[in-house]
Chain A
Amino acid sequence: MPTYTFVVNGKPVTVDAPADLALLWVLRDKLGVRGPKFGCGIGVCRACTSHLNGAEVQPCVTPVSECAGQEVTTIEGLASGEDLHPVQEAWLEQDVAQCGYCQPGQIMAAAALLRTKQEISDEDIDRIANVCRCGTYFRIRQAIKSAAAKMS
């Protein structure tokens, strides 16, 4: 079985895995990184959304072989120690989470968006396609706007 070395939340890791094994299962089942959630396995619910070299990625449809030598950041790696990322702070402020299951992915999608764009419009937020089955969308919208204001 091939071996892949990459960085997860700032720490180098090496795993034995089939080349086509999805990053999600390497993270969850081999490395015990449980923040990214399974919701669909085909990249449409986006509950697993994380960052690959700072950009949004869906680990459930990303083969581990594509991650070799790259930097993966999951929800666990977004904060700097006890200091939360402004998006996480905004999520607490707006009390967004209900069941919470989709929120790591929602937060990572919002953080990736805010990394590339400071002026956030409603249309930008509409393009975030992550499913929240509890229907917290309006609070998510408010949280993203609040985080954007703090970060600008």
Chain B
Amino acid sequence: MTCDNEVPVPAAQVPVRRRRFLTFLVAAPVLTVAVPGTAEAVIPTLPQPAEILDLGDVLILAGAPTAGALAVLSVGEDGVVTLDLPRAEVGQGITTASAMLVAEELDLPLGQVRVTLADARPELLMNQLTGGSNTMRSVYGPVRQAAAAARARLLAAAAEQHGVEVSRLSTRDGAVILPDGRPVLYGLLTSAAAQLTGAFAAQPKPEGEHRLVGTPQSRIDARAMVTGQFRYTLDHDMPGAMPTVVRRPPTINGSVKSVDSAAARAMPGVLAIGVVPTGVAVVAETFGQAMAARDALKVTWNPGTIDSLSDKEIRAKLQAAALPFVVPPLLTQHLDLEFDFAFVSHAPMETNSAIADVRDDRAEIWAGLKSPIVARQTIAAAVGLPESAVTVHVVQGGGSFGRRLFFDAAIEAAQISKALKRPVKLMWSRTDDMRHGRARAASHHKLRATFALGNVLTFEHRVASVETDFRHGLGEILTATAAKLPVGGNLSFAQTVFLTTCKVPYNFGVVTSLLNEVPLRMHTGSWRSVYSANTRGAEEILVDQLAKKMGKDPVAFRREFLKTARQRAVLNKVVEEGQWGKAMPKGFAQGIGFHDEYKSCTACLVEIDARDPKNPRVVRATIAVDVGRPINPRGLEAQMLGGLTDAISTTLRAGLHIDKGLPLEGSYSQFHYARQKDAPLDVKIHVMPATGEPGGAGELGVPAAVGAIANAYARATGVVPRSFPIIFPVDFEPFPR
């Protein structure tokens, strides 16, 4: 077991910096937290924690002290304005939406705005985490303020240059317009503006004057993507960084006992082999050669941490862990239901990957990272360097769905680079990504509702989940360390996330939702909508069954018990547009679901073809969404479409089977995420008009659609699904371990 170090490390190239003159840091926005009202003749439910303070609010509050430093804008002499965004774009469209905010405030064509992803900026403390559907909520104020300040400074420069009052100037199409109508391009004012002294705070435009924000815009990076020019982590060339893969253990968290690398070393293209904490790393001239050598290694392994566990044992643990109900089902009518949800891989198309260059005195990392500050802090500790010597670059990612909150590949690449004394370009195989990567935790749900005289009196939900790992904290080391505390650390985080995200949107009398987690030493992580997909999905199924038991139509029932007019408007929109109640052929059915989170709400109406109950397909979907203030409706629709596809996948066919310490699924031929043949032939998404501040959008689409699909399946087949995914056989020969 030796580590190679025979290859000299080439000197790093010093990048040529483009000239930039004008950068601003502006003041923090004012934070407001709204509490929605409740009403109606139904038995009102007291506001749940998530209605008073949701996870997004928590993240905004945590980021408040540094919000003024969040948006860094530069105005180039070429007239291009660049926003260095301290968030991770992974497909959710935040760079386009942020560019729209900048273009709006500066009266600039959208094409003249660039958005780069900021390196880890530890001074931002808890304000560089991309999660909780929080990006547009948290940057909406600061980015507009920074752009408004930039505009003010450009106006002042023009006023000075041309000897006119600022009040006589306006801005249009990337230029300051002089009183006589002549335009002065921003690029010509950059140098003068940068030399001005004084404060240039300015109020952003009133929202009523928005001309770009709120209109549908295409992605700013779309052309690069469709022409193959877009660069993901592994598409970048860093000097000396060669293709690297890792041979991993046969069970989760196993470790290397012994290695015979003689055969692998003799294979063509192999450059270095070494043992690291997670397995055996192989560096070669191409990934194909690295993988061939990886397969030729003879490795014996120490056991992992869940070797004795399979689905059956895990499910039994979860069922035992669900906390008891409070209300006995004695004097009133009641309905009890239980549900199970399997583990689900995040399975982003781009597997875990990172480039790392660790030297004796410094380190540089490139990866798709949603919490880069804690990544930098953790990597510094792992490779024994002061934090200030570690640079972490955030690269746009090929999907995440929560996966890139963790930085497993980045830390592993750093460890390999240090061990082998060479820069590395690390890629996980798909099989490793599914088996040794992270997953949505499996969960068990017990629900009970009691009712009498047409009213719901109590509603109880007991969630028992395998521990969801929140040890990334709020994106920096203090809260990450708190989450790592042995007693209650992660559980405190889990409870906070559960309570600040999951809320029952109905007036169901006394509502209690309780989470209990079973800690297992395996790799989990937040998966788009975290607890809500399963928790709210299960509740929406119960709502349909409750309506049935109380003799009411599912839509009429929801309309009666939803808490607000805004929620009912969204429900009514899909009912109307999706033609709720229309005649359907035998084996087909409609289903409806509703969800409210992060100041946004949505309803989903699907039509399912379940003529063959073992081969169902959602054939049509109608979605209505109210996010308070849509910034880019086209991007919002994309997020809702993605949430729908996630729900189709995880409700019907996509999950992981755990067998003796390892998921059986190892690729998309086995983990059945939806393909085109599983996707609806018609999808209509209705974006409700702006009424307030932006709410969350990235995760919103999943839970309502889970409920709608399960309810449609139940109505089409007469069987209420209790275990998800519904169609879940081991219909493949698992890859060798």
- Asked if B228 and A34 sit within 8 Å, CB to CB, the answer is yes
- Asked if A35 and B228 sit within 8 Å, CB to CB, the answer is yes
- Asked if B227 and A135 sit within 8 Å, CB to CB, the answer is no
- Asked if A133 and B288 sit within 8 Å, CB to CB, the answer is no
Footprint of A on B, CB under 8 Å? 90-93, 218-219, 221-223, 225-232, 234-235, 237, 243, 268-269, 285-289, 291, 347-351, 397-401, 427, 429-430, 634, 638, 641-646, 648-649, 667-669, 673-677, 679-683
CA distance A126 to B675 in the complex (A): 8
CB proximity of B26 to chain A, nearest CB, Å = 31
Given known A-B contacts A40-B668, A41-B430, A133 and B675 have beta carbons under 8 A apart: no
Question: C-beta contact mask, A15-38 vs B, less than 8 Å → 1, else 0?
Answer: 001100110111011101011111
Known interface pairs A25-B286, A42-B430, A132-B349; 4 further A-B residue pairs with C-beta atoms within 8 A, sorted by A's residue number: A21-B288, A40-B430, A101-B348, A127-B676
CA distance A39 to B682 in the complex (A): 28
- Asked if B645 and A101 sit within 8 Å, CB to CB, the answer is no
CB proximity of B466 to chain A, nearest CB, Å = 22
Residue of B nearest to A131 (CB): B668
Question: C-beta contact mask, A108-152 vs B, less than 8 Å → 1, else 0?
Answer: 000000000000001001111111111111111100000000000
Contact residues in B for A97 (Cβ distance below 8 Å): 91, 219, 221-222, 225-226
- Asked if A45 and B349 sit within 8 Å, CB to CB, the answer is yes
A102 close to B (CB within 8 Å): yes
24 contacts between A and B (CB under 8 A): A18-B289, A21-B286, A28-B287, A32-B237, A34-B228, A39-B351, A42-B430, A42-B669, A75-B227, A75-B228, A76-B229, A92-B222, A92-B223, A98-B642, A99-B348, A99-B350, A100-B221, A129-B676, A129-B677, A130-B676, A134-B645, A135-B644, A135-B674, A141-B676
| Ranked 5 nearest A-B pairs via Cβ | A135-B645, A35-B228, A99-B91, A101-B398, A75-B228
CB proximity of A31 to chain B, nearest CB, Å = 11
CA distance A61 to B222 in the complex (A): 28
Contact residues in A for B287 (Cβ distance below 8 Å): 25, 28-29, 38
CB proximity of B567 to chain A, nearest CB, Å = 25
A107 close to B (CB within 8 Å): yes
Interface size on A, residues (CB 8 A): 62
CB proximity of A35 to chain B, nearest CB, Å = 3
Residue of A nearest to B647 (CB): A135
**Chain A CB within 10 Å, residue with most, of B350, B648, B681, B682:** B350
CA distance A138 to B642 in the complex (A): 10
- Asked if B349 and A137 sit within 8 Å, CB to CB, the answer is no
- Asked if B91 and A29 sit within 8 Å, CB to CB, the answer is no
- Asked if B288 and A22 sit within 8 Å, CB to CB, the answer is yes
**Chain B CB within 10 Å, residue with most, of A22, A74, A129, A135:** A135
CA distance A100 to B90 in the complex (A): 9
Contact residues in B for A100 (Cβ distance below 8 Å): 91, 221-222, 225, 230, 398
Contact residues in B for A138 (Cβ distance below 8 Å): 641, 679-680, 682-683
Contact residues in A for B349 (Cβ distance below 8 Å): 37, 39, 45, 47, 99, 101-102, 131-134
Per the 8 Å Cβ criterion, residues 47-105 of A in contact with B are 47, 74-76, 78-79, 84, 88, 91-92, 95-104
CB proximity of B413 to chain A, nearest CB, Å = 16
Contact residues in B for A32 (Cβ distance below 8 Å): 237
Contact residues in A for B644 (Cβ distance below 8 Å): 135
Given known A-B contacts A42-B669, A44-B668, A137 and B645 have beta carbons under 8 A apart: yes
The prevalent SS among residues of A at the interface is loop
- Asked if B646 and A37 sit within 8 Å, CB to CB, the answer is no
Contact residues in B for A133 (Cβ distance below 8 Å): 347-349, 399, 401, 673
Residue of B nearest to A42 (CB): B667
Residue A98 contacts which of B91, B269, B288, B427 (CB distance < 8 angstroms)?
Answer: B91
Contact residues in B for A101 (Cβ distance below 8 Å): 232, 348-350, 398-399
Residue A45 contacts which of B92, B230, B667 (CB distance < 8 angstroms)?
Answer: B667
Contact residues in B for A76 (Cβ distance below 8 Å): 227-229
- Asked if A39 and B681 sit within 8 Å, CB to CB, the answer is no
CA distance A23 to B400 in the complex (A): 27
CA distance A84 to B225 in the complex (A): 12
Residue B430 contacts which of A26, A39, A129 (CB distance < 8 angstroms)?
Answer: A39
CA distance A26 to B683 in the complex (A): 40
- Asked if A135 and B228 sit within 8 Å, CB to CB, the answer is no
CA distance A122 to B617 in the complex (A): 14
- Asked if B641 and A135 sit within 8 Å, CB to CB, the answer is yes
- Asked if B286 and A29 sit within 8 Å, CB to CB, the answer is yes
CA distance A91 to B223 in the complex (A): 9
Given known A-B contacts A45-B349, A100-B398, A135-B646, A95 and B91 have beta carbons under 8 A apart: no
**Chain B CB within 10 Å, residue with most, of A76, A95, A96, A132:** A95
Given known A-B contacts A40-B668, A88-B227, A92-B226, A141 and B679 have beta carbons under 8 A apart: yes
- Asked if A136 and B681 sit within 8 Å, CB to CB, the answer is no
CB proximity of A25 to chain B, nearest CB, Å = 4
CB proximity of A128 to chain B, nearest CB, Å = 5
- Asked if B228 and A74 sit within 8 Å, CB to CB, the answer is yes
Residue B288 contacts which of A29, A39, A128, A129 (CB distance < 8 angstroms)?
Answer: A29
- Asked if B427 and A38 sit within 8 Å, CB to CB, the answer is yes
Contact residues in B for A88 (Cβ distance below 8 Å): 226-227
- Asked if A135 and B218 sit within 8 Å, CB to CB, the answer is no
- Asked if A137 and B226 sit within 8 Å, CB to CB, the answer is no
- Asked if A103 and B286 sit within 8 Å, CB to CB, the answer is no
CA distance A133 to B680 in the complex (A): 15
**Chain B CB within 10 Å, residue with most, of A22, A29, A44, A126:** A29
CB proximity of B621 to chain A, nearest CB, Å = 8
- Asked if B681 and A122 sit within 8 Å, CB to CB, the answer is yes
CA distance A133 to B350 in the complex (A): 10
Contact residues in A for B642 (Cβ distance below 8 Å): 98, 134-136
Residue of B nearest to A44 (CB): B669
- Asked if B231 and A95 sit within 8 Å, CB to CB, the answer is no
Residue A127 contacts which of B91, B427, B677 (CB distance < 8 angstroms)?
Answer: B677
- Asked if B677 and A126 sit within 8 Å, CB to CB, the answer is yes
Contact residues in B for A34 (Cβ distance below 8 Å): 228, 231, 234-235
Residue B351 contacts which of A1, A38, A103 (CB distance < 8 angstroms)?
Answer: A38
Contact residues in B for A39 (Cβ distance below 8 Å): 349-351, 430, 668
CA distance A38 to B680 in the complex (A): 27
Residue of A nearest to B235 (CB): A34
Contact residues in A for B285 (Cβ distance below 8 Å): 29-30
CA distance A104 to B225 in the complex (A): 7
- Asked if A44 and B667 sit within 8 Å, CB to CB, the answer is yes
CA distance A92 to B225 in the complex (A): 9
- Asked if A128 and B676 sit within 8 Å, CB to CB, the answer is yes
Residue of B nearest to A24 (CB): B288
Residue of A nearest to B237 (CB): A32
Contact residues in A for B430 (Cβ distance below 8 Å): 39-42, 45
CA distance A99 to B641 in the complex (A): 13
Contact residues in B for A107 (Cβ distance below 8 Å): 226
- Asked if B674 and A137 sit within 8 Å, CB to CB, the answer is yes
- Asked if B399 and A84 sit within 8 Å, CB to CB, the answer is no
CB proximity of B57 to chain A, nearest CB, Å = 26
CB proximity of A118 to chain B, nearest CB, Å = 19
CA distance A74 to B401 in the complex (A): 28
CB proximity of A126 to chain B, nearest CB, Å = 4
Given known A-B contacts A40-B667, A135-B641, A138-B641, A84 and B91 have beta carbons under 8 A apart: no
